[in-house]
Amino acid sequence: MLALQQIRERPDWVREGARRKGEGAPVDEILTLDAEARRIRSEVESARARQRAAGAEIRGAPTQEQHEELTALKRSIQEGDTRLNELDARLESLLLEVPNPPHESVPFGTTPDDNVVVRTWGEPRRFEFEPRSHLEIGEALGIFDFERAAKISGSRFAVLRGEGVRLQRALVACMLDIATREHGYTEIAPPYVVRRDAMVGTAQLPKFEDDAYHSDDDMFLIPTAEVPLTNLYRDEVLDTSQLPISLVGHTPCWRREAGAAGKDTRGYIRLHQFDKVEMVRFTTPERSLDELELLTRHAEAVLQRFGVMYRVMLMCSGDTGFAQWKKYDIEAWAPGMERFLEVSSCSVYADFQARRANIRFRAGADERLRFVHTLNGSGLAIPRTFVAVLETHQERDASVRVPDALRPYMGGVERLAPRA
């Protein structure tokens, strides 16, 4: 969330930031209501001052004139306070609709073609046979059961079997070990169900409420571990010596994918429920852009360990999300599908989330409180990483060579073999 003062002092910057993202922003309505609120607040303060002065002038029983004046002042103050409460609530609601203006280094663009390739790692594997898709490999290995998943839960759900489950567990365990043992993250096992204010705190709400799974008692299934991990420090004041804070968690995630009708309807690519390892960082404003580069490298390290070719994309303004200040996507190459798959988005939010969640820090005893900057990134999304590993390391007979990094997590298994 932006500060009201930012909108008051730099309305054109806010409008331009929204335009660059292809979003709307109720700047004019905010400014109008803010002006009214400031006028009424001034009137109420003047009325209270007059009320105190009038009360001090009374000696003994008030005269009729004094009584009428005090009654009128009391009524004016009550009416003003009522209107101020209405205006403050409306302003708070409108502020939640204003997107975070992108950082100046974010290129302007409106389509995926405007995203910029920053770097690539590895080369597409050259096969001596026609590479299969993960669906074909999964059929040969007997690890997917989409038909029974649909019977249980409907479309866009999956059942994994046997060695497929084992491979997925290995992916998760390896990712968590890389994050904790090599990059210094603290592992967190958070709740999977959160309150509305937690979703507001990370800016999933109100904009993306239609994409969330929501219970009758106003609780939400998490769309990403970013929500509970970021909200761990909601309404807290951190000491600068604690920063940066680096957290990682593995959770299932739930998304309705309300705007994805017809996209990737088959396979293990776009699901309503999927697992993800998420990294979250809290830092100072001076360090946040450097922390974004570091976070992205941490996510890349996982794909390198798995021997999967990938590219890093700097997302254009139109593909930089509502709350994000700057974002990199990491896309893994899936040779069977002949396409890149997004396996991680690494983003910095400036203080946009911290203002909503009220997460602040103090540099010293005499320093003023400031909002932290927050970052998060997938480390990685499990299903698409699973797909990239299957398709990259497949063999002619539809077997899959297990990457060296995963073998210790699979009891030394070197190869997933097709069913007899």
User: Annotated catalytic sites, by residue?
Assistant: 255, 270, 342, 345, 384
User: Cα torsion at 278, 279, 284, 287 (round to 10°)?
Assistant: -120
* Residue 269: C-alpha distances to residues 42, 197, 334, 401 (Å): 56, 30, 11, 21
**Residue 170, Cβ density class (10 Å: 0-12 exposed, 13-18 middle, ≥19 buried):** buried
Please spell the DSSP secondary structure of 214-261, one letter per residue.
B-TTSEEE-SSTHHHHHHTTTT-EEEGGGPSEEEEEEEEEE---TT-T
The phi, psi pair for 283, rounded to 5°, reads -150, 180
Block residue for tokens 């007997």: 142
What count of residues does the chain have?
420
Q: Which amino acid is at 115?
A: N
Task: Write out the two tokens for 78.
Answer: 């009550």
* Residue 83: C-alpha distances to residues 30, 44, 45, 353 (Å): 15, 11, 14, 28
Find residue 251's DSSP bridge partners: 276
